[in-house]
Amino acid sequence: MTTTTQLSHIHRFVPGLDTKRPPLLLLHGTGGDENDLIGLGELVAPGSALISPRGKVLEAGMPRFFRRLSEGVFDEEDLRRRAAELAGFIAEAREAYGLGAPVALGFSNGANIAAALLLLHPQALAGAALLRPMTPLRSAPPANLAGKPVLMLSGAADPIVPSANAGTLAELLKARGAAVRHEVLPAGHGLTQADVQQAKAWLAGL
């Protein structure tokens, strides 16, 4: 396992043991870092290469992938800029480590930047598992996501993400051609064993 600052994002890289599995791009939630989702990645995609960058934005000292104006209100100008930066990092990491296009596994803020990547830079990802995502953009471009697999796992009792907001994102991605599976779990905003099981089964089917 490697932790490095040599590319444009501080990140950790875990080489894959199973070349048939796509690499995972692990995107942490607010206050996390490049170490946060390594264990989850190993659980849900054993043998996959793991790329786990740290978000570049700090909110009260806590790393995030983009700025927000308040809870649930995103700075969309910053979001678009950070999504472009992250797409650039993905290209760098693929070249540095000899990888194919990754599947994103993002939680909360990480799920939101992954959704933005799908809409703004669809070529960067082979698919995405979005855990507790929100609709990232008020006006999304007409991305071509034809057949791109997307798993969305929402919490029925999530105090942060309104159910209608998550539903809007699912419909938005479907309208652009993505193969979306949206499950609402008996959970809040935090992850549960059901998230692990659902994500593992979905990733195994790719």
Q: Which residues are catalytic?
A: 108, 158, 189
Relative to beta strand 11-14, strand 2-4 is antiparallel
The residue assigned the tokens 């969305």 is 152
CA distances from 80 to 67, 111, 174 (A): 10, 15, 21
Contact present, 144 and 118 (Cβ < 8 Å):
no
Angle formed at CA 82 by CA 167 and CA 16, multiple of 5 degrees:
85
Phi, psi of 102, deg, nearest 5 = -85, 160
d(CA 109, CA 120): 16
d(CA 203, CA 37): 15
Helix (H) or strand (E) holding 86: helix 76-97
